Amino acid sequence: MQGSVSFPLQHIELHGHRVCFRTGGSGPLVVLIHGITSTSATWERVLPTLARRFTVLAPDLIGHGDSAKPRGDYSLGAYASGVRDLMIALGHDHGTVVGHSLGGGVAMQLAYQFPERCDRLVLVDSGGLGSDVHLLLRAATLPGSELVLPLLAHARLLEGGRAIGRALGRVGLRLGTDMAEMARGHASLGDREARLAFIHTLRSIVDPRGQRVSALDRLYLAEAVPFLIVWGERDPIIPVEHGRAAHAHVPTSRLEIFPDAGHFPHLEAPERFLDVLADFIETTEPAAAAPERYRELLTRGAA
Enzyme catalytic residues: 101, 235, 263
CB 106 within 8 A of CB 99: yes
For residue 12, which phi and psi values (nearest 5 degrees)? -145, 155
219 CB-near residues (< 8 Å, 6+ apart): 108, 129, 246, 249, 250
DSSP 8-class letter at 97: E
Burial category of 281 from C-beta neighbours within 10 Å (exposed 0-12, middle 13-18, buried 19 and up): buried
**β-pair type (210-211, 95-100):** unpaired
Q: Angle 282-288-293 (CA atoms, 0-180°, nearest 5)?
A: 135
d(CA 291, CA 174): 45
CB 161 within 8 A of CB 267: no
